[in-house]
Chains A and B, each alone.
Chain A
Amino acid sequence: MNKEVLIRLNGISKAYDGETVLDHIDLEIHDKEFMTLLGPSGCGKTTTLRMIGGFETPDEGDVFFDGKRFNDVPPYQRQVNTVFQRYALFPHLNVFDNIAFGLRIQKRPDAEIKTKVKDMLALVNLKGFERRKVSTLSGGQQQRVAIARALINQPKVLLLDEPLAALDLKLRKDMQNELKNIQHQTGITFIYVTHDQEEALSMSDTVVVMAHGQIQQIGTPTDIYNEPINAFVADFIGESNIVDGIMLDDYRVKLAGHIFDCVDKGFGKNEPVDVVIRPEDVDVVATEKGMLRGLVTAVTFKGVHYEIIVDVKGFKWMIQTTDFVAEGETIGLSIDPDAFHIMKKSEFSGMFGDYSSFSDELEKLSDVTEEIEEE
């Protein structure tokens, strides 16, 4: 991949009514990269995007584009285009005129506009939709028009603000693939904002995890999943058990009263740490063979596997297993050394990773509240 830095954010801060939204953000975005800003609502990801689009100005810090300071350049002079969350198609124009809008502003000749719009419609799979009113289109089709309208200006960077949030699951998956294809075909840098970790992992070259107006971690999807930097990232990306542990020595960690071998090193002797164990990395074995013993308190059938909650000395673990175990059974747990991921203690320690209050219902409820907050 081309490693030329296209956009650089330098110590960006922003506050609304005294409430800090962004707290000294530093970020580099490379040419032709698919970068995702990921985080819960209110983490500052959309504000960061709007700063690049030119709709917000930083209180502190600088935005550089191609090496030039960009803070006070208005949106209409930036080589950046945006796909808005609610599409923002112009209701008085049809599909053709919506897509042609940017070129018409640039006063390009009609013939050029015609061919370019045609190409764009082909790119987003909407051939033959030229004369349709935008209000007669489905959500997915409107989103495609919004993407075509933004791409026709051949921007250096395309900003996408939760573009798939309003679509249903099936359509969302299709559009994820399509967006990825479009990015490959056009070679344009994509900056994508989402609160959906699965979307972030499956689409991006680089994921930026944000919380409380700060960047928690920047890395490839595999890095972020396998080597989360703190309890927040570990919990936000996928499911994880986050257990208090003590790093006795290099490669030896003590948790839940048992000393395990692990593959991490470089911590102080007897340093308290957070230990991440993914639910799929714990094996269920007979009690006498287990490194740990626990009582099964809940079993949920998930199709590919069972999701069970196991009480180990008062701490509830989530474990995914393909073997059926019954509620109330005592089982043994076995964990391979490379399944442990050791993290330094952080401000998020102890806030995440315990499944004692876990239930599917609760999970869904919290999803709903998040969506309402987005409004």
Chain B
Amino acid sequence: MNLSKILKNTFLVILLSMVVSACATKKTAIIDSQIQGDVYTGTDTVEYLAKGVPDRVFFATNESILTTMSRDTLRKQAAWLRDNPSVNVVLEGHADERGTREYNLALGERRANAAKDYLMTYGVSADRISVISYGKERPVDSGSNPLSWSKNRRAVTVKAN
């Protein structure tokens, strides 16, 4: 994975410069705290299904693997869905703009299904979850930089009723 390598190197450089001079700029420090291993960990774009229940999980470039943090979010969503059995949801899968359109449609579908599968293992029945991929067609952040892209690589759980 080229991008993650680049990112890792960037972090290393940032870390080193912090050790050496302890004067890393505020901006890189913010980015540093918002991306871990190429996955967005901030709360900038996140909305909430209910108090303490984030609506989305984020992915590394080209990946559909759920991180520890994503699994934690999805368990909260599953618990909330079990408490609210009349609510159905749509899982929207998205990709960043740095890939071909058709592959990204497939990747978005794969990401949404990764989240759906996890909700199902925590007791949400399949017929309450529908899936749609938007590929790279519906970014939340329109910047062309690693932080913007990390916010766009996401699966969002949206109330359907």
Partners in one complex: no
Interface set of A (CB-CB < 8 Å, partner B): none
